[in-house]
Amino acid sequence: MATQEQAFLSIKDLTKSYGDGEAKTQVLKGISASIDKGEICVLFGPSGSGKSTFLNMVGGLEPADGGSIVVNGVDITKLSDRELVEYRRRELGFIFQFYNLVPDLTVRENIEVCQYLSRDPLPVDDLLQSLGLWEHRSKFPNQVSGGQQQRCAIGRALVKNPSLLLCDEPTGALDYHTSKEILELMERVNREYGSTMVIVTHNDAIRHMSHHILRLRDGMLSEDTINTHLTPARDLTW
């Protein structure tokens, strides 16, 4: 594991609170972790433990109260609003539980929307083929299955050619069989494109296909483990 100075994503003494006075709640209480380039990192924790807050802060969507978040050598906690927009455009891809596709755009057009945000996008046709969406490229989101919608959402995130993929419960709305397909796809994406992934999930089985396991409890890290015996996604059971 790389040191914090060497890591692609380095979080140090990160704190975040909401509310004021007696209603103030400290959600993150001095989190520190380092994630290497190309790792699949899975983040666990019960509801209210700070997982989504953590992901939003790494994504530059919420400010930190204290500490630092260094991504690819840049401390994003020191960036201006304009610089954060550029950071999200340049470095990040987001994958959500409920897809967030534009209903009036076809599968292809949903992916192309993000292609225009990148200086070095991946070819849309190649992604459609790789994601198994070629024959569905002209359909609208409500004309394809949940798994195909999630594939489209992954394509939308990938087309920017991001160095960091932030995934919030990417299989949470899918059945077992489709979840396995999506996890196999994400495993292949990590292998072929070298994207660093942070996956927030309640599915404990995903830890076995991940290089790095983090667990939050009561705003603090209760686990920070490197997995040296990876299980292929196709062999996961839960």
Tell me the domain boundaries of the chain: 9-235
Q: At what angle do helices 146-158 and 176-193 cross, to 10 degrees?
A: 20
Q: Mind listing the pLDDT tens digit for each residue in 113-167? A: 988 888 788 899 999 998 899 999 999 999 999 999 999 999 999 998 899 999 9
Provide the 10 A C-beta neighbour count for residue 4: 14
Asked whether the beta carbons of 4 and 194 are under 8 A apart, the reply is: no
What pLDDT shows up at residue 192?
Answer: 86
Q: H/E element holding 148? A: helix 146-158
Domain 9-235: what homologous superfamily?
P-loop containing nucleotide triphosphate hydrolases (3.40.50.300)
**Alpha carbon of 8 to those of 58, 73, 173: distances in Å?**
12, 7, 30
Laid out side by side, the sheet with 74-75 consists of 25-35, 9-18, 66-71, 74-75
- Tens of pLDDT, residue by residue over 76-93, are 999 999 999 999 988 899
Question: Are 226 and 212 a contacting pair, CB within 8 Å?
Answer: yes
Average pLDDT rounded to a whole number, residues 42-46 = 94
Residue with tokens 């930190």: 64
Overall pTM > 0.75: yes
Q: What are phi and psi of 134, to 5 degrees?
A: -55, -45
CB 127 within 8 A of CB 85: no
Instruction: Mention every residue, 6+ apart, whose C-beta is less than 8 A from residue 215.
Output: 43, 44, 45, 221, 222, 223, 224
Q: What is the DSSP string of 58-117?
A: HTTSS--SEEEEEETTEEGGG--HHHHHHHHHHHEEEE-TT----TTS-HHHHHHHHHTT
**Is the predicted pLDDT of residue 4 greater than 60, yes or no?**
no
With 70 as the cut, is the pLDDT of residue 1 above it? Answer: no
With cut-offs at 50, 70 and 90, classify the pLDDT of residue 5. low
**Dist CA 84 CA 81 (whole Å):** 5
Q: How confident is residue 234, by pLDDT bands cut at 50, 70 and 90?
A: very high
Distance CA 131, CA 134 (A): 8
Question: For 7, phi and psi rounded to 5 degrees?
Answer: -65, 150
Cβ neighbours around 56 below 10 Å, total: 16
pLDDT tens figures, 185-194: 899 889 988 8
Pairing mode of beta strands 164-168, 40-44: unpaired
* 25-39, 56-70, 184-198: the lowest-pLDDT one: 184-198
